[in-house]
Amino acid sequence: MAAMDESPKDPDTENRTVYLVLDDFGREGRAFREADYDRCDLESVTADPMAGEFENPTFVVAFNLRQGWARDATTEVIHEVQRRVRSLGCEVPIWLSEFVDCRNYSAIENDAAAGREASENVSHFEG
């Protein structure tokens, strides 16, 4: 627990990239998953799906409030998951196979396009 006199981190003043995952829940719809502020970095967004933390990840957005940008980070995360699988010498977990399979990337790209349409107006924003 933080000390009482310790100020909380202000996300507007930190220079960090935040990653959020769009998860597909089937009939229940899609949603960006709730993310702990300290676990929304590339490391966590790559490790959490490997551990089964997501139902069906379809899109990843990255943004940096201080620098004023947002972008599609789906390919970056897919490549990082593939790199980790190779380095561990294991198979892609079944729940991630569609997400990381480049042959199925067109389906992911369709979701990414839908996400980009929703975020095109905030790709570069002022603080």
Per domain, the residue ranges of the chain are 18-122
Question: Looking at residue 56, what DSSP letter applies?
Answer: S
Average pLDDT over residues 46-57: 83
pLDDT at 126 over 60: no
The string of pLDDT tens digits covering residues 64-119 is 988 999 999 999 988 888 888 888 888 888 888 888 875 444 444 555 555 555 44
Reduce the DSSP state of residue 3 to 3 states and report it.
coil
The string of pLDDT tens digits covering residues 7-38 is 556 655 578 899 999 988 889 999 998 788 88
C-alpha closest to that of 61 among 118, 126, 102: 118
pTM for the whole structure: 0.68
Q: Confidence class of residue 47 from pLDDT cuts 50, 70 and 90?
A: confident
CB atoms near residue 116 (< 10 Å): 16
